[in-house]
Amino acid sequence: MKSIVVLGSTGSIGVSTLDLARRFPQEFKVRGLVAGRNLKLLAAQVKEFDPEWISIREEEGVAPLRKLLGARRTEILWGEQGAVSIAAANGVDVVVAAIVGGAGLVPTLEAVRAGKEVALANKEALVMAGEIFVRETKRTGVRLLPVDSEHSAVFQCLQGNHREEVERLILTASGGPFLRVPLKDLDRVTVKQALRHPNWKMGPKITVDSATMMNKGLEVVEAHWLFDMTPAQVEVVIHPQSIVHSMVRYQDGSVIAQLGIPDMRIPIAYALSYPHRLKVNCRPLELTRLRELTFLPVEKKRYPALDLAYQALAAGGSMPAVLNAANEVAVAAFLERRIGFRAIHRIIAKTMAAHATRHPSEVREILELDGWARGKARQLIG
């Protein structure tokens, strides 16, 4: 049995992870949960899974959460230090890193430094501090097991093959809800429309990232660090059906693909049980019922955010962290209806243009740059 900690337990990845823990009680024991402000859902999770420790975002939530838990005496921590304490706790085998955005960076890194195996759903951690993560995983011998469906697919397609024979990774993207919306209409799309993803059920920030395709840009940066590939070796193609989750092309011209229904429990289960596979009992993929599998090139004018991510990766150093911070601020402003949809990539581009690339060696420097970029983006919005 593996003991697990879930960072971001009330988000979509966290909920799916706990569903697997519910289905496979003989395989997984939930030792700790870290959540944000959804205290009601966290309390229900605590009552069901009986973790030893829980942590929430703010100390102000401790008293209301304690009231929701009643007589249960589970230890309640808070803030970044609370999340770090749980991520690095003794006796934990796997940490599921599913906190959305830059907030997940420090707890995930501390899990690596503590020698925990990490099931990585927080792509922003590698985007912000990929070089530091690679250095620490080599030092501790820790595995980063990808949870994103695309990186899980690449990971599976690489099994049993030689990395030096890989020519290219091909990440697939659904194209989001605006794949066929006329370009002239994108300035007028609403938050409600942006949150209407055609295939996946995700949190609001990630869903907007899918609509702009920034999520794919962040995944390009993540793939660079996870699989030691150059930017030119990571390609993105549009695949509206979200059935082929990603592919690997080898030097002999062969392409190996991983297919499956769009259900995040499949890649989560593979990361948790690697190198084995659990009988997840998701709806099987029936090939004879597929009408078509379509692949299209990315239209740069429709998805300028993807190009910004490639630019940030080419610049290297601190630029991906600046890209990520500006994106988080801009997406939040869009969700709050303070800026339009097309303003998101413009805010990111202007923030990047105002930054001179640096090469931080410590997390503290990255967090300082993250703060600068957030302030710059807010200034541009303000």
Q: Look up the CATH number of the domain holding residue 38.
A: 3.40.50.720
Residues 134 and 39 both lie in one domain: yes
For the chain, strand residue ranges (E) read 2-7, 28-34, 53-56, 75-78, 94-97, 117-120, 144-146, 166-173, 234-238, 244-250, 255-259
Residues 191 and 83 both lie in one domain: no
Residues 79 and 207 both lie in one domain: no
Residues 213 and 307 both lie in one domain: yes
Domain termination site, one of 315, 345, 374: 315
Residues 279 and 166 both lie in one domain: yes
Residue 376 domain flag: no
Residues 137 and 253 both lie in one domain: no
pLDDT at 199 over 80: no
Instruction: Over range 91-120, report the average pLDDT.
Output: 94
Domain termination site, one of 315, 349, 376: 315
Overall residue count recorded for the chain in this entry: 382
Q: pTM of the prediction?
A: 0.92
Contact 326/376 with Cβ under 8 angstroms? yes
Give me the pLDDT at residue 203, please: 82
Residue 124 domain flag: yes
Residue 142 domain flag: yes
Looking at the structure of the chain, the number of domains it has is: 2
Q: Which residue, 235, 224, 379, is CA-closest to 315? A: 224
List, for residues 281-305, the tens digit of each pLDDT value: 888 899 999 889 999 999 999 999 9
Instruction: Over range 243-260, report the average pLDDT.
Output: 97
List, for residues 210-235, the tens digit of each pLDDT value: 999 999 999 999 999 999 999 999 99
Domain termination site, one of 273, 291, 315: 315
The domain of 233 spans 151-315
